Amino acid sequence: MAATTMAQALNRALRDAMTDDERVLVFGEDVGQLGGVFRITDGLTRDFGEQRCFDTPLAEAGIVGFALGMAMGGFRPVVEMQFDAFAYPAFEQITSHVAKLRNRTRGHLSVPMVIRVPYAGGIGGVEHHCDSSEAYYVHTPGLKVVSPATVNDAYTLLREAIDDPDPVVFMEPKKLYWSKEDIELRRVDEPLGHAAIRRHGKDVTLVAYGPSVPVAMQAAAAAAEEGVELEVIDLRSLVPFDDDTVMRSVRRTGRCVVVQEASGFAGFGAEIVARIQERCFHSLAAPVIRVAGFDIPYPPPMLEHSHLPSVDRVLDAVDRLQFDDEPDHRYLTGAHS
Amino acid sequence: MSDHIATDLLPSATPVRYLAEDGTPVDGRDNGRLAGYPQPSVEELRDAYRRMVVGRRFDTQATALTKQGRLAVYPSSRGQEACQIAAAMVLREDDWLFPTYRDTMAMVSRGLDPVEALGLLRGDAHCGYDPNATRTAPQCTPLSTQTLHATGLAYALRRKGTDSVALALIGDGATSEGDFHEALNFAAVFEAPVVFLVQNNGFAISVPLEKQSKAPSLAYKGVGYGVRAEQVDGNDPVAMLAVLHKAFEHARAGRPFLVEAHTYRIEAHTNADDATRYRDSAEVDRWLDADPLARLDKHLRSRGALTDEDIAEAQAEGERLAADLRGRMNAEPHLDPLAMFDHVYARPTTQLVEQRDLLAAELKAQEG
C-alpha cells in the first residue's frame, strides 16, 4: 500500500465530499488552477469544474461573508484561508455572523460552512505565517473547532466537518501536511466531539491536539524507556470538547500535562486545565501543568525551535508532577523575587 | 481588461430627480438621465403615497414606544420614507432584503408583521421573524457586513437558475467600511444579482458626510469595481421608484447595481441620541421643506390622482396599524431564559446542556 500524506488525505476528503454532495463548493485564494499554496485543493478545478472549485478576489472578509450568503442560499461552502494570520481580516465575519446566524435567527438559518485554516509553525515560515490562532475561535460560541493530528483524522474529520450542520473552523497543522501513514483512508461515522486515546498509560495523562500530538507521542515513547507510562489524548475536536475522555483519564492517572503550541497565557490549554481542576480535584496528585509556546509574537524562523514545545520540555513538565511529594519550587510565591 | 466602459458605469453628474420640492416636474436640466428610466405609473405612485403615510405613522408610533419603555431603542427613518417605501415596492416576493436597524419601515411595508419586525429593537429576540419565510435577513447592526451576505446569496440564487435579486440597504457611513468595498468587488467579479442602496442621510450618528468621504458622490464608489451606479434624489418618490426599477432590471440580468439616494435623517440617530450637539435646527428645517411625502402629495393632487378621501383612507390605515402595534407591544413578551441555549448549535454540546440545567435549577429555586 502506498503511503498517504495528510495533504493527500485532505484532498481526498474534499473530492469525496464534492462527489457525494453537489452543494459542496470549494473556494478561496489560489485554490483553483494552482491547487492552493499547500496543494490541498490540487486538481479539484480540473476534475469538478470552475463552478465547484474556484479562485476568489484576495479579500478574506469577502470570502467568508460571501460564503455565508451562499450557505443561506443552500450551498455548503468550504473556504480556505491561506494562512492562519491571513484569516484575521475575516474575524468579524466569522465571530459576528458565521458563528451567530443560527442563534440570531432562532434556528431558521444555519451556516453549514467549513473554514479551513492552515495553522501553527514548524515549517520555517516567516512572520504572520505560523500563528496558532485557535483560542480566538474556541472562545466564540456557535463555532466548532477541529484539528487533526493523524492522516486518517485529516480525512475523516474534514468529511465530518463538511457534513456538520454548523460552521466548523478546521485547523490544519501545516507541519503535519507531509506526515505519512500507510493506511486505507476510512471514514469513521460519528459526529464531531470525540477525543482519541493515542497511547494508553497509567502514570500521567498528556492532553494534546494538532501539531502537539506527535510531540506528546514522542515524549511518551521516551518516558516509557524510563519506566513512566504516559497516556496520550488527542483531542481532535476542541469544540465540542470531550470532557468525558479527558476526565476519565485524569481520574485514572491523577497527573496531567497539557501541551499546546500556542502562547500559554489565556490560551485553550488554560481552559482545559481549569476544567480538569474543577472536575478532578480530588483525583489529582499534582497541579496540572501546561507546556505551551512562550507569550511572544511568533519568532523569526531561525529561532522557532527554541519557542515550540519540545519533547524535552514535555518530559521536564512530567518530572515536575511531584512524584516525590515535594511542591514545585518554581511556583512558590516569591520564588523569583 | 474589463469589457466595461467607465462612462457606462458612472452615475449622473447630479442626482436623478423628477419632482421639485413643490411637487411639480422639474425641467430637463435637472433630470438629464430620467428619460432612460421607466416611469412609475399613477397607480404605483398612489400605492407609494399610501405606504408612505402608513410608514410614517409606524415610525412615529415606534418612537413613542421607546418613550413608554416598550422598545429598547428605535432608530427613526423619518424623512427617508421615499427610500424605504420604494425599496419595499420594487422587491418581488422571491427577492431578498438585507436591512439595517434603520430599515424597519421598509420591512413592515414589505409585509413583515410589525411586532416581529421590531424584535431586535424591542429586545426580546435578535430577530423576531423567520428570514426564510419573509425573504428578509436579520437586521444588521454592524455596518456593511451584510452587503457580503447579500452578494453571496444573490450569487447562489443565480446559480440556482432563478432571476431573484438581493437588495442590501446601508447608510452613508457604512460606505467607509471595508466589507462594502469587498462586496462591490465580489458582486462584480461573480456577476451577482445584487442591488446596493445607500441611503445617504447626511450623518453617521454625529459625523457629517464631509468628514466621511471626499467622493464626488458615494455612487462613484461603483466604477472602480466595475459596478454600474446612479445617484438619485432620495426625497423624490418618483425618481426613487424609477431608478430602483432600473437597478433591479439590471440586476436580474446578472449585473450588480449601486444606488446612492440623497436624503436626510430628520430625527436623531436613535431616541438615545441628542442631535442638537452636532447640527443646528435650521438645517433640519430646510430638509423638512424637502419632505418626500408632501412632495408626492402635491404631485398626485396636481395630476388629480389624490383625493381627500384617499388621504383619509391612508391615514386611517396608519392609525389601525399604530393601534394594533400599541396594543400588542403593551403586552409583555413571552420570555424563556432556557431558550437562550437553543440554536447555539444544531445539537447542544454537553457543556451547554450542563449550563442549561444549572440555570433551570436557579430558576426553580427562585420560584420556590
Name the residue among A71, A96, A240 with its Cβ closest to that of B145. A96
**What's the Cα-to-Cα distance from B345 to each of A188, A280, A328, B348, rounded to whole Å?**
21, 27, 41, 6
CATH code (residue B100): 3.40.50.970
B181 to chain A: closest CA residue: A62
Tell me the average pLDDT of chain A: 95
Question: Is a pLDDT exceeding 70 seen at residue B20?
Answer: yes
Same domain assignment for residues A15 and A113: yes
In a domain, A336, yes or no: no
Are A50 and A112 part of one and the same domain? yes
Whether A75 and A175 map to the same domain: the answer is: yes
User: Are residues A64 and A91 both part of a single domain?
Assistant: yes
Closest to A89 (Cα-Cα) out of A125, A56, A50, A126: A56
Would you say residue B35 lies in a domain? yes
Q: Which residues contact B115 (CB under 8 A, 6 or more apart)?
A: B122, B128, B325, B328, B329
Residue B30 pLDDT: 46
- Say if residue B357 is in the same domain as residue B228: no
Task: Answer whether residue A268 is part of any domain.
Answer: yes
Choose the final residue of a domain: A149, A181, A213: A181
| Residue whose C-alpha is closest to residue B148's, from A125, A90, A167, A160 | A90
SS3 A63: helix
| Gap between the Cα atoms of B105 and B89, Å rounded | 12
Q: Which CATH number fits the domain that encloses residue A106?
A: 3.40.50.970
Please tell me whether the interface predicted TM-score (ipTM) of this complex is above 0.90. yes
Asked if A238 and A305 sit in the same domain, the reply is yes
Residue A314, pLDDT > 70, answer: yes
**Is residue A277 domain-resident?**
yes
Q: Are residues A157 and A26 in the same domain?
A: yes
Chain B CA closest to residue A112: B346
Q: Please indicate, yes or no, whether residues B308 and B367 belong to a single structural domain of this protein.
A: no
pLDDT band of residue B4 (cuts 50, 70, 90) is: low
Q: How far apart are the first and last CA of chain A?
A: 59
How many residues are listed for chain B in this entry?
A: 368
Which of helix, strand or coil describes residue B42?
A: helix
- What is the DSSP annotation of A252-287? HHS-EEEEEEEESTT-HHHHHHHHHHHHHGGG-SS-
The C-alpha of B278 sits at a distance from chain A's nearest C-alpha, in angstroms, of 30
How far CA A26 is from CA of A166, A267, B188, in Å, comes to 17, 30, 20
B271 and B351 fall within a common domain: no
Q: What is the reported pLDDT for A1?
A: 64
**pLDDT over 70 percentage in chain B:** 96
What is the spatial distance between Cα B139 and Cα B116, in angstroms, rounded to a whole number?
12
Written as one string, the DSSP assignment of B312-364 is HHHHHHHHHHHHHHHHHHHSPPP--GGGGGTTSSSS--HHHHHHHHHHHHHHH
Cβ of B148 within 8 Å of Cβ of A144? The answer is: no
Q: Is residue B50 part of a domain?
A: yes
Query: Has this prediction a pTM greater than 0.80?
Result: yes
Residue range A178-231, pLDDT digits in tens = 999 998 898 888 899 999 999 999 999 999 999 999 999 999 999 999 999 999
| Same domain? A102 vs A72 | yes
B317 with B343, same domain?
Answer: no
A204-208 vs A76-80, strand pairing mode: unpaired
Q: Is residue A205 part of a domain?
A: yes
Question: Final residue of a domain: which of A123, A153, A181?
Answer: A181
Tell me if A74 sits within 8 A of B160, measured CB to CB: yes
Taking the C-alpha atoms of residue B33 and residue A272, their distance in angstroms, rounded to an integer, is: 65
Q: Look at residues A181, A212, A232 and tell me which one is the last residue of a structural domain.
A: A181
- B59-71: per-residue pLDDT in tens? 999 999 999 999 9
What pLDDT, in 10s, does the model give residues B204-245? 999 999 999 999 999 999 999 999 999 999 999 999 999 999
What separation in angstroms does the CA of B300 have from each of A157, B16, B149, B263, B304? 64, 19, 38, 21, 6
Please list every residue in chain A whose beta carbon sits closer than 8 Å to the beta carbon of residue B349.
193, 239-241
Query: Which active-site residues of B does the annotation give?
Result: 265, 269, 278
Q: Is residue B58 part of a domain?
A: yes
C-alpha A313/C-alpha A259 separation (Å) is: 10
Q: Is residue A191 part of a domain?
A: no
SS3 A203: coil
Are A68 and B148 in contact (CB < 8 Å)?
yes
Mutate to test the interface with A, among B141, B341, B344 (most CBs of A within 10 A): B344
Residue A64 lies in a domain: yes
Q: Do both A176 and A200 map to the same domain?
A: no
Exposure of B3 in the CB half-sphere (CA atoms within 13 A): 2
Query: Domain for residue B368, yes or no?
Result: yes
Whether A298 shows a pLDDT value over 60: the answer reads yes
Taking CB atoms within 8 Å and a gap of at least 24, the contacts of B41-46 are B42/B300, B42/B303, B42/B305, B44/B89, B44/B241, B45/B237, B45/B238, B45/B241, B45/B296, B45/B299, B45/B300, B45/B305, B46/B300, B46/B305, B46/B306, B46/B310
Name the percent of chain A lying above pLDDT 70. Answer: 96
Query: Are residues A250 and A324 both part of a single domain?
Result: yes
Q: Rounded mean pLDDT of A230-248?
A: 98
User: Which chain A residues are closer than 8 Å to B358 by Cβ?
Assistant: none
- Kindly tell me if the per-residue pLDDT of A130 is higher than 80: yes
What's residue B35's pLDDT? 62
pLDDT of residue A336: 53
Average pLDDT over residues B76-99: 98
Residue numbers of the domain that contains A40: 4-181
Give contacts of A141 with chain B, Cβ < 8 Å: 344
Same-domain status, B276 and B367 = no
Summarised one tens digit per residue, pLDDT across range A63-116 is 999 999 999 999 999 999 999 999 999 999 999 999 999 999 999 999 999 999
The closest CB to that of A93, out of B148, B151, B156, belongs to: B148
B83 and B223 assigned to the same domain: yes
> How many separate domains does chain B show?
2
Q: What is the pLDDT of residue B32?
A: 45
Known catalytic residues of A are 129
The verdict on a CB contact (< 8 Å) between B153 and A144 is no
Instruction: Assess whether B254 and B341 both reside in one domain.
Output: no
Residue A2: per-residue pLDDT = 78
* A267 lies in some domain: yes
Same domain, A151 and A15: yes
B342 and B319 co-located in one domain: no
Across the interface, whether the CB atoms of A104 and B351 are under 8 A apart is answered no
How many domains are contained in chain A?
2
Task: Out of A62, A69, A109, name the one closest to residue B150 (CB).
Answer: A69
Answer yes or no: are the C-beta atoms of B169 and B175 closer than 8 Å: no
B1, part of any domain: no
Question: Residue B347, Cα to own-chain centre: how many angstroms?
Answer: 34
Q: Are residues B341 and B226 in the same domain?
A: no
Q: Give the integer Cα–Cα distance in Å for A213 and A198.
A: 9
The CATH number for A227's domain is 3.40.50.920
Q: Could you tell me if residue B25 is inside a domain?
A: yes
**pLDDT confidence of B366, banded at 50, 70, 90?**
very high
User: Are both A77 and A25 inside the same structural domain?
Assistant: yes
CA–CA separation, B149 vs B131, rounded Å?
13
CA distance A149 to A119: 12
* B345 and B328 both lie in a single domain: no
Mean per-residue pLDDT, B158-164: 97
pLDDT value at residue B368: 77
Q: Cell 515549517 belongs to which residue?
A: A123
| Structural domain contains residue B349 | yes
**Range of the structural domain that residue B342 is part of:** 336-368
Q: Give yes or no: residues A145 and A261 share one domain.
A: no
Q: In whole angstroms, what is the distance from residue B80 CA to residue B94 CA?
A: 24
Identify the H or E element spanning B258: strand B257-262
Q: Is residue A335 part of a domain?
A: no
Report the C-alpha dihedral over residues B182, B188, B192, B196, rounded to 10 degrees: 60
Distance from CA of A3 to the nearest CA of B (A): 36
Decide the pairing of beta strands A196-199 and A230-234. antiparallel
Residue B229's identity, in one-letter code, is A
Q: Are residues B159 and B182 in the same domain?
A: yes
Beta bridge partners of A79: A27, A115
The answer on pLDDT for A335 being more than 60 is no
Nearest-Cα residue of chain B relative to residue A99: B344
Pairwise CA distance, residues B72 & B78, whole Å: 18
Spatial distance between the Cα atoms of A27 and A19, rounded to a whole number of angstroms: 16
B163: pLDDT strictly greater than 50: yes
Grid cell in block for residue B135 = 425573504
| Pair (B240, B202) in one structural domain | yes
Contacts of B210 (CB under 8 A, 6+ apart): none
Would B105 be classed as within a structural domain? yes
